Amino acid sequence: MLEQDLTPDLLAQVQQAVHTRTHLKIVGGNSKSFYGTPTSATALLEVSGHRGIVSYEPSELVVKVRAGTRLTDLTQLLTDHGQMLAFEPPGFASEATIGGTIACGFSGPRRPFAGSARDSVLGCTLINGNAECLAFGGQVMKNVAGFDVSRLMVGALGQLGVLLDISLRVVPMPEAEITVTRTLSSAHQALELMQQWQREPWPFSALVYDGNKLMMRLSGAETAVHSAASQLGGDIDLNGDLFWRQLREQQLDFFRDAENLWRISIAPATPLLDIEGEWLLDWGGAQRWLKSPVYSEHIHQTVAALNGHAVCFRGSDKTDWLRLEPGLMNVHKKIRQAFDPYRLLNPHRFSPEL
């Protein structure tokens, strides 16, 4: 893996932007430009060249990596040592970087059983909107009193700082994995089964209903996984690895030709929502993908009434891609002001108000 430390160059560019009040569009692999509101910035800050492994001790289950490192390169390194990122991040392209993955806060099918991207971040180094190089968190897994600022960067879409280095918790790869499928008559039946099984100690690492089949991935010790598969019943899917990869990377037929693809985050026991469209239930029902022509107003209101949260993940409805309550928006503004007082970094990417 080609390694390159561009910290001085990136810092100089941000310093110049502060001096001239130039808005910067942070670009890594550019694999997630579809996500969020398009930024109004036109000057590019390229971070993909800032790449490489800063430190990695497999026995410590921690890796520190530069933000421009390709996700595929990091994944291969961990695989070579029998380890992985617990949150199973999607890349959406071979050029995807770990910095962009963390900035968007994306997690894959394993998330409800192994933790989110935010749970895996131990620390980071960044350049804020005052052109200051700041370090937060650490490189070890321990309990620390106070608020973990580094985890604020997860999902911030680059509006709080330019990520330089990220320390991540890694986990051993499971000894065995099996995918079991069961054909069901309805999404309602799938939700009931998923809620029942998640109250029991099955070794799930993914649980999804694709509109026809309930797909269950079991991970752990080989004997435990085979025993669970036998007791749960259903058919063993020999192409299970392909399915989970295509689900994670949104390459299934469900995700194709979606004018507006919505990600609904909601309590997994919530009944089916009364919104027209096609549904795919992931994360045991806690993350629901919706393809729908319905206006964003109706979707936001329906989901909010059930204490959920809706995001237009892909599509044309980006002017109203997410909504924050006034109190929460005020908190976002104050945090943004603290990290980037001139609003130079990815302006409006998260919201027109930010």
176-248 shares the fold of 7-172+333-339: no
DSSP one-letter string for 147-195:
--GGGGGTTSTTSS-EEEEEEEE-EEPPSEEEEEEEE-S-HHHHHHHHH
On the 0-12 / 13-18 / 19+ scale of CB atoms within 10 A, 99 is: buried
For residue 205, pLDDT beyond 90:
yes
Query: How far is 92 from 120, CA to CA, in rounded Å?
Result: 20
* Residue 21 identity (one-letter amino acid): R
CATH 3.30.70 fits 176-248, yes or no: yes
Mean pLDDT of 294-305: 94
Q: 2-28: per-residue pLDDT in tens?
A: 789 999 999 999 999 999 999 999 999
Instruction: Write out the two tokens for 199.
Output: 């109250």
Q: What is the mean pLDDT of the chain?
A: 93
Domain locations in the chain as residue ranges: 7-172+333-339, 176-248, 253-315
Instruction: Write out the two tokens for 29.
Output: 């692999």
Poorest-pLDDT segment among 149-158, 192-201, 319-328: 319-328
Per-residue confidence (pLDDT) for residue 6, from 0 to 100: 93
Percent of the chain whose pLDDT exceeds 90? 87
Per-residue confidence (pLDDT) for residue 317, from 0 to 100: 66
Query: How far is 226 from 242, CA to CA, in rounded Å?
Result: 20
Strands ordered across the beta sheet of 121-127? 53-57, 62-66, 162-169, 121-127, 133-137
Mean pLDDT of 83-96: 96
Q: Under CATH, which architecture does the 7-172+333-339 domain have? A: 2-Layer Sandwich (3.30)
pTM of the model: 0.93
Q: Which residues contact 1 (CB under 8 A, 6 or more apart)?
A: 51, 52, 53, 69, 73, 77
DSSP β-ladder status, 204-209 and 133-137: unpaired
Per-residue confidence (pLDDT) for residue 277, from 0 to 100: 93
For residue 53, pLDDT beyond 50:
yes
Poorest-pLDDT segment among 83-97, 213-227, 307-321: 307-321
For residue 197, pLDDT beyond 70:
yes
Q: 248-270: per-residue pLDDT in tens?
A: 999 999 998 877 999 999 999 99
Per-residue confidence (pLDDT) for residue 257, from 0 to 100: 80
